[in-house]
Chain A
Amino acid sequence: EAQVTQNPRYLITVTGKKLTVTCSQNMNHEYMSWYRQDPGLGLRQIYYSMNVEVTDKGDVPEGYKVSRKEKRNFPLILESPSPNQTSLYFCASSLTPGGPYQPQHFGDGTRLSIL
């Protein structure tokens, strides 16, 4: 089954404790992206990757890191989480961004709470 898998699905942690949200896709997609969703703000892109070893900042990259060492994985790293990073996070992938018949496949989301 074609899917984007995020882990964990839920996490409650404390300020300053480094955490990683993993994202893996099994569709051989070139493009991967991370978003955060907050009430009243819609989705905001954090980082995206057009291909292996190529990553670019989205609209809200501050406080986050990513890496794309292999095509299938695109982890999101919070080195020193703060309460304003409490949010619902989505990972997505597609063959190319916006291509015809190539919709972004989204993961099920990760609910992060930073106390």
Chain B
Amino acid sequence: AQTVTQSQPEMSVQEAETVTLSCTYDTSESNYYLFWYKQPPSRQMILVIRQEAYKQQNATENRFSVNFQKAAKSFSLKISDSQLGDTAMYFCAFMKQGKFYFGSGTKLNVKP
């Protein structure tokens, strides 16, 4: 089975600053997908960004970008210009052929 590790249970960042959330995973697969999901206090699960393992280029979505290091099995999320609405739990996820594995989450607090 694959494992996904998020080593930062909780982080804080000042509004407008940049923060990086860490994620590592363990797999013997070569082709897979990686995701970051956001869960605000409303409990809704929202996709933030996705990365296909065969693509070397790091994915970006507006203020969100990833640093994908395939050899190191690392998939960190960078949030630039943090906003109060970014306060949420963030989950890293690995997927292969429909089977998903999630990390335990990082709680991000954005302070005014």
Contact = CB atoms under 8 A, between A and B. Distances in A.
B47 A109 contact: no
Contacts of B6: 42
Interface string A89-104: 0101000011010011
Secondary structure at the B interface, as helix, strand, loop or mixed, is strand
The residue in B98, B104, B105 that gathers the most chain A C-beta atoms within 10 A of its C-beta is: B98
A107 to B, nearest CB: 9
B75 to A, nearest CB: 14
Interface string A63-89: 000000000000000000000000010
Given A43-B102, A44-B102, A45-B101, A59 B1 contact: yes
Contacts of A43: 45, 91, 93, 100, 102
A92 B102 CA distance: 14
